[in-house]
A and B are shown apart, each in its own frame.
Chain A
Amino acid sequence: MFLKEYINDVLKAAKSLLTGMKVTGYYFTHRKEIITEQYPDNRATLQLAERFRGEVVMPHDENNQHACTGCSACEIACPNGTIKIINKFDIQPDGKKKKAIDTFVYHLELCTMCGLCVEACPTSAIKMANTFEHSVFNRNQLTKRLNQPGSKIREGVE
């Protein structure tokens, strides 16, 4: 009885070791499995994951319009004060005043790329871009204005 258990133990051990060696052996014989990215050699063909978080951008359409209502939800969501929203009041044709965005200030040097602002935005006005080569010689260049000059809120976005 003891001997049977003993031999079983040895055979089980051998089987589990061979299973492990099969995995590494598979990788050794299949070089296409290699996942190393040879950056910066492959800069031109670099494929980044869709969910990669490089920096916050505000997409504008061809009429230079964005979807930001200036609600400041992103500013409140940001854990380290990266975003500062400066609002103004537009006079609409019917004479009413309406809150609109004047400047969307984004401090890239403070940003930890957590993506909470993108999640907080009710109108999907901002998103995370794939760019990651952010180095500059002057740190002033890291303070960005995300809404383009002369841009307006898109019609129908409330």
Chain B
Amino acid sequence: MFSLEGITKAIDTWLNAHFNSTVVLLAECVLVGVAAIALFAVLGLGLVWMERKVAAVMQIRLGPNRLGPKGIFQTSADTLKLIMKEGLTPDGADKFLFNLAPFIVMIVAMLVLAPISFAKNFQIWDINIGVLYVSAVSSLSVIGILMAGWSSNNKYSLLGAMRSGAQIVSYELSAGLAIISIVVLTGSLSINDIIQSQQNGWWIFKGHIPAIISFIIFIIAVTAETNRAPFDLAEAESELTAGFHTEYSGMKFALFFLAEYINIFIVCSIGATLFFGGWMPLHIGNWEAFNHIMDFIPSSIWFFGKTIFLIFLIMWFRWTFPRLRVDQLLNLEWKYLLPISLFNLLLMTVVAIMGWHF
């Protein structure tokens, strides 16, 4: 049966058989880096295409359909165009920060990739504080955005960056509380332990209503954290031209664009891990036969399937809801999401202590 674990094992044994341990470590580091960059490229091309197709069908259009079957090469052509374009640095900009910002955003997105478990025993870095690491590092991306906005020396950029700062700082809270409610059930911060605890059913089914509420809060908060519509105030096309990346062009713009989609993938994979069991197949309690049939589907397909479903959900939001105003955005967080998630956390703790979950 196909499994990503088999491939990594085979590479590891082959390397160990031919080289000494230092070389093996270096080679594996390089391989992991190449694999991560390849994943980013594929995700960037694939998700942009998916977004355009989903948007088109939801608006009763066809979407890209000229370049390759169903327009699948459209995004590759767009990337080629962006590579050919001049990466302009404005005269009044703070040149060092201006050129550094897209890389900060990108590197943060790459760092968050480390503890995510893509398939059974297929993980870059298995740390025991995986969830904490993810929520800590992912909020660093606001530094890149603020840096881009400030160094552009442009009022639109600055306004966009400030909005983005307010937004990420406030929504970080309810996203964190939604994550904690699952951590309360599991009793562990390690991504692997969380997935293992869903051996007999996913938390969204096992955790009763509190799990469903925290999933809804999580999905709202991460939509806001990734600066996507209806929370895309930071780059609101109609008010701020393009927000914090107004002054960027060429490949530096492409990095921001790519980082947006990578961040969506990462938050959706975290959501899939916490609420839908990551790579864990659909198991129902003690139905041995059913669970066994589900095990035949490779774990990587389960993981990517769940993640893409959540990404689709976020795209569905984007093409349905109108953009919020800044005050509405902060009202929603501080007056609704935060109190509800605090109360929900209390409820979840009671459920966990009394052992009411399955």
Contact = CB atoms under 8 A, between A and B. Distances in A.
24 contacts: A10-B336, A10-B340, A17-B320, A20-B320, A20-B321, A21-B316, A21-B317, A21-B320, A23-B320, A24-B316, A24-B320, A25-B316, A27-B58, A27-B60, A28-B54, A28-B57, A28-B316, A34-B60, A34-B61, A35-B61, A36-B60, A36-B61, A36-B62, A38-B62
Interface of B: 54, 57-62, 316-317, 319-321, 336, 340
Contacts of A24: 58, 316, 319-320
Contacts, number: 35
Interface string A23-49: 111011001011110100000000000
A35 B57 CA distance: 10
Chain A, interface size: which category? 10 to 19
A25 B316 CA distance: 8
B60 A33 contact: yes
A20 B57 CA distance: 15
B321 A17 contact: yes
A31 B336 contact: no
A11 to B, nearest CB: 12
Given A17-B321, A20-B320, A27 B340 contact: no
A31 B340 contact: no
A31 B321 CA distance: 21
Given A24-B320, A34-B57, A38-B62, 7 more contacts: A24-B319, A25-B316, A27-B60, A33-B60, A34-B60, A34-B61, A35-B61
Nearest to A18: B320
Nearest to B62: A36
Given A10-B336, A34-B62, A27 B320 contact: no
Nearest to B58: A24
A96 B11 CA distance: 106
B217 to A, nearest CB: 11
Nearest to A37: B62
A28 B61 CA distance: 10
Nearest to B335: A6
Given A10-B340, A21-B316, A27 B59 contact: yes
B87 to A, nearest CB: 35
Contacts of A38: 62
B320 A31 contact: no
B71 to A, nearest CB: 13
Contacts of A35: 60-61
Contacts of A21: 316-317, 320
A5 B61 CA distance: 40
Contacts of A34: 57, 60-62
A27 B57 contact: yes
A44 to B, nearest CB: 19
Contacts of B336: 10
B316 A31 contact: no
A35 B56 CA distance: 11
A15 to B, nearest CB: 13
Contacts of A33: 60
A154 B271 CA distance: 77
Nearest to A38: B62
Contacts of B321: 17, 20
B61 A31 contact: no
B55 to A, nearest CB: 10
B320 to A, nearest CB: 5
A28 B56 CA distance: 9
Contact of A31 (B54, B57, B317): B57
Nearest to A22: B320
A38 B65 CA distance: 10
Contacts of A10: 336, 340
A28 B62 contact: no
A34 B62 CA distance: 7
Which of B62, B316, B320 is packed against the most chain A CB atoms within 10 Å?
B320
B129 to A, nearest CB: 33
A92 to B, nearest CB: 59
Contacts of B60: 27, 33-36
A17 B60 CA distance: 20
